[in-house]
Amino acid sequence: MPSLYQQIQAGKLWDFHGGVHPPTRKAQTAQKPIAVLPLPDRLYIPLRQHIGVAGNVLVSIGQRVLKGQALTSADNSMAVPVHAPTSGTIVTVGDHTSAHPSALPENTITLAPDGLDEWREQYPLNLATSDNSSLLERIQLSGIAGMGGAGFPAHLKAGLTQPVDYLIINAVECEPYISADDALIQEGAITIVKGIDILCKLLSPKAVLIGIEDDKPAASAALKAACSQREHYYVRDLPTKYPSGGEKQLIQLLTNKEVPAGRRPIDIGIVMLNVGTAFAIAQAVLDDHPLLSRVVTVTGETLSQPQNVLALIGTPVSDLLNFCGYQHKQPYKVIMGGPMMGFTLPDLTVPITKTTNCILAPSKHELPPAAEEQDCIRCSACADVCPASLLPQQLLWYSKAKDPVKLDEYNLFDCIECGACAYVCPSEIPLVQYYRVAKAEIREQQRESVKAEQAKARFEARNARLEREKQQRMARNQRLAQAREQAQQTGSNSNAVAEALARIKAKQTEQNSVPADREQVLAERAAKKQQARAYQAEKAASEPHAESEPAPVAQDEARQEQPAADEPASAKSAAVAAAIARAKARKAAQLQAEQQDKVVEAEQTKQPEATEPASEQATTDPRKAAIAAAIARAKAKKQADSEKP
Amino acid sequence: MSFKITSSPHNRISRSTSEIMLLVVVACIPGIVVQAMLFGYGVLVQLLLAIATAWLAEAMVMRLRNKAALIRLKDNSALLTAVLLAIAIPPYAPWWLIVIGTLFAIVIVKQLYGGLGNNLFNPAMAAYVMLLIAYPLQMTQWLPSVSLQPESLNLFDAVCAVFTQYSCSGFSISQLQTGIDGVSMATPLDTIRTDLAAGKTLTESLQQPIFYGIAGAGWLWVNLAYLAGGLALIKLRVIGWRIPVAVLGSLFAISLLSWLAAADTNPSPLLQLFSGATMLAAFFIATDPVSASTTNKGRIVYGVFIGLMIFIIRKYGGYPDGVAFAVLLANMAVPLIDYYTRPRTYGHKAKGAGK
Ligand code: SF4
Ligand code: SF4
């Protein structure tokens, strides 16, 4: 039995369950050269075009920017910047209709091109002499996010440190109509392979598998020619079937492996990037040409010249359509993306983003509007085509019944929303829509229960803290009592009692009749307080990240040590004790801060690698952060506790 | 300019539920024609009655449930139920029998369960069983094939017979049911069971004129016609192959075994396959998507279950054919079958029941 690697080398392909064969309709665009779109009047550049967080805006209204200049900064690992696609002036920074199914307004920079197309200075890197971190930094700063549609920041995938067996380059492009990757490969296969070289340097995989559907012979031949000098690069022609370009499906096709539920491809030694991303990486590294434009298929029967165009990021959809001869007698619908997974646009001012691969303006006859939904007849046509081997009819049933337990049991969250089920459903049930709603509702519920849990955790933490403080007070009192006893015992035993009495008397008289002494005590106390305050300030300054929780702990200790100063006889020892306590508190706080940083860091590195859809990412982030903070707090507290004697 | 937002996918395969149902009805036509030729035109009258009743009933219930009637009628599911019931009952059964049966199928079995897709039982078969229990006499009034009928009935006779139980020339159904030799004849399967119960051997039983041919006069042809229609449905991918193959395969296997073990008391596998409603059941009734299992493995289990039950009920039951009971019993087992035959989801390890 040959090993998996040998089988892969021998060119063996596997299959995935289900799949459909919708008419591909790619011929009308795939064979034409990529046209370059003229400069539009305005560019609308959304700040966030990837999965993750938006960078901070670096430019101000009225400022002139050069082509390739970063408009936002990437100040954390989940951010990638956006750039000025051409030189011009910043007009506004504000809301604009987003290129997202929700069509919600999104923070967007509007740029008025000046027509000069003037570049900033460029610093190409030499692959042979650059180290990995500078390559990764370049990829991040060039704003590269997965161009196949998901928009996952490329530097996070390229920077994975786990061992990689297979680097898979996704050139499948299984959605009907879309031929953007096809055209890009035909014209830029050499650059793509250079991009793959860079990825290989970063990831050192055993082999590179390039998957492409067999309905793109020209592109496949171009890739094979470009890879001919590379020993472990394998171009694999896959039978045309939707959705073989899905991440999990392609992995199954090429390696017969399945990504375990809830895990990521890297967990089985696989990293997958899109060809467009590889192309962009090569441009960024070797030419210092950040991600400013992309190939977009503009197609549909309402266009007189359907074709692939090279469009600047931020170009409004209307510019692309008009360039391709858009004739609308009565406006029907315009889809961003393909017919299977794309979304309809609310209007045509929506800009092209880094992930836009297709603008589809079909005629009514071409993609007829959905007929009235009929009852599910349980024919299981949907189950037969589901690439995730789900039972869509059962999911439909439980989605309608709003039964989250059953939905979970039937693995709703393994649905990749490919639309194959709805495509074949004879009753024309918009199944995917039902699943989206059900998923959103479940996420909402989860968010709420997390909130409740957090509140509970906070309450319990508070109770625990109060209890702890009480214990500490008691322990301290005991300690002091013991110390007094010891002092008494070490003193001359015979007149211990008399002495004690004398001391008490002396104290009474001190308090009543010796204001000078009292002043001294007060001054001392004030000085101590000041010390504590200064320390607090210092600590706060040194720990900008720390939550507000640690401070009270330190404060408590300082405060608790202070009463010791009330006893003038032990003023000195009290001061020493206070100093010790301070040191301890500081150490605890430091540990706490360190630990917190660690946890937060861990969370942060974990987040970016998750390969869930954008919406999910976005919605879970604050939650995860909150959980992380809670965990960190709890841990820090525990640590602080154990630090105390 | 603004557009209406619609949900992906934006394209769909063109075959609709209405077409699927209609294709199934169309595939019944060869069988119906053969049935009409060999057993008289009564079946056509029953068909008309059943379809009219089904449409009226469906429309009425939709009115009551405040739902659009037309789109529901257009799905053709009521039509299919009516057709299946009409060809399953004796062709000269009185008119009210089919009306009651169809009403029961549509209103009680289908709509009271929540309408198309929600019914646990196959409506046609549930109605058939109800009629069989409530009106055993009328439900067993099968005439022998035309060649054995003393009087040949034309279309008018058929109408008269269904509505009045007398042919235009005044013969009663029971008279018609009596063969040329004066012996009352039921269906071949019925005859075998009665004879075996009376102590005759199978060979003796098969001497009778009703067993002309392999599976009883006429029945072979009817079954062949349904087989042809069913194969066409598989070819057109209207139905899957799993259920029919499982039903016929299991029925064949067990009857072969029993026949080899005791040929004198067990009908041959061929007689089992081509007599009664075997083919109709395998291709048209068991494959009803609503009441059948929905998983691929489940469909095999479901089909095998039906095949075995047909055999057992034919051999030990008290009714002429076991098809309807077998299908209903299997319907009841469907939720269980489905639950234990769930496919393994991508990326998940555990199979079957739990998580
Ligand atoms: S394809 Fe449609 S009608 Fe058939 S079982 Fe699935 S959801 Fe129901
Ligand atoms: S949309 Fe979900 S349920 Fe439907 S076929 Fe795709 S993965 Fe399966």
| List of residues 6+ apart from A559 with CB closer than 8 A | A532
Lowest mean pLDDT segment, chosen from A55-59, A383-387, A561-565: A561-565
Distance CA A134, CA B80 (A): 69
Long-range contacts: A149-152, Cβ < 8 Å, 24+?
Answer: A149/A337, A149/A341, A149/A355, A149/A357, A150/A51, A150/A355, A150/A611, A150/A613, A150/A614, A151/A49, A151/A50, A151/A51, A151/A353, A151/A354, A151/A355, A151/A614, A152/A50, A152/A51, A152/A611
Backbone angles phi, psi at B35, to 5 degrees: -60, -45
Which residue among A262, A427, A436 places its CB closest to the CB of B17? A427
**Of residues A349 and B350, more confidently modeled:** A349
Q: What is the pLDDT of residue B354?
A: 38
Specify burial of residue B195 (Cβ count, 10 A radius: 0-12, 13-18, 19+).
middle
Q: What percent of chain A has pLDDT over 70?
A: 76
pTM check: above 0.90 = no
Residue owning tokens 């298929």: A297
Per-residue pLDDT tens over the stretch B160-180: 667 766 666 666 666 665 554
- Which pLDDT band, with edges at 50, 70 and 90, does A418 fall under? very high
> Residue A447 is encoded by which pair of tokens?
């968010």
Q: Is the dihedral of CA A399, A401, A404, A406 positive or negative?
A: negative
Let me know: does A273 contact A34? Beta carbons within 8 Å.
no
Highest-pLDDT range among A5-9, A453-457, A494-498, B231-235: B231-235
The arrangement of strands across the sheet holding A88-97 comes to A43-46, A105-113, A88-97, A64-65
How does DSSP assign A388-435, residue by residue? T---HHHHHHHHHHT-HHHHHHTTGGG-----HHHHH-TT---HHHHH
pLDDT at res. B24: 93
pLDDT for the residue numbered B230: 94
The tens digit of pLDDT for each residue in A236-277 reads 999 999 999 999 999 999 999 999 988 899 999 999 999 999
pLDDT band of A454, cuts 50, 70, 90: confident
Contacts of B355 in chain A (CB under 8 A): 409
pLDDT of residue B247 exceeding 70: yes
Confidence (pLDDT) at A365:
85
Residue owning tokens 């067999």:
A214
CATH code for residues A1-31+160-288: 3.40.50.11540
Contact A427 B77 (CB under 8 A): no
Average pLDDT value for residue range A285-307: 94
Q: Which residues of B247-283 are buried (b: 16+ CB within 10 A; e: fewer)?
A: bbebbbebbeebbeeeeeebbbbebbbbbbbbbbbbb
Cis ω for the linkage preceding A645 (within 30 of 0): no
If you average pLDDT over residues A387-408, what whole number do you get?
A: 91
Domains in chain A: boundaries: 1-31+160-288, 378-485, 518-556+569-643
Q: Give the residue with greater pLDDT, A391 vs B136.
A: A391
| Residue A161: CA count within 13 A, CB half-sphere | 4
Asked if B352 has any chain A CB less than 8 Å from its own CB, the reply is: no
Summarised one tens digit per residue, pLDDT across range A22-35 is 988 898 898 899 99
- Ligand 1, closest atom to CA A378? 5
The best mutation among A20, A375, A378 to test binding of ligand 1, ranked by most ligand atoms within 8 Å of the C-beta, falls on: A378
B118 falls in which pLDDT band (50, 70, 90)? confident
- Cα distance from A334 to chain B (closest Cα, Å)? 8
DSSP H/E element including A293: strand A293-299
Whole-number pLDDT of residue B127: 92
Average pLDDT, integer, range A462-476 = 88
Query: Looking at the predicted structure, is the pLDDT value of residue B43 above 90?
Result: no
Protein residue with its CA nearest to atom 4 in ligand 2: A421
Q: Ligand 2 pocket: which residues have CB below 6 Å?
A: A 385-388, 390, 392, 415-421, 431-432
Among A122-126, A564-568, A575-579, the range scoring the smallest mean pLDDT is A564-568
CA B217, B222, B227: angle at the middle one, nearest 5? 135
Contact predicate B268/B312, CB 8 Å: no
> B255-274 pLDDT, tens per residue?
999 888 887 777 788 888 88
CA of A348 to the centre of ligand 2 (A): 29
Name which residue leads in pLDDT, A364 or B321.
Answer: A364
Residue B73 token pair: 């009628």
User: Quick check: B75 and B116 in contact, CB under 8 A?
Assistant: yes
d(CA A26, CA A29): 6
- Flag whether residue B297 sits within 8 Å of chain A, measured between CB atoms: no
Between CA A13 and CA A236 the distance in angstroms is 8
3-state helix, strand, coil in chain A (%, to 5): 50, 15, 35
What is the pLDDT averaged over residues B329-338? Answer: 92
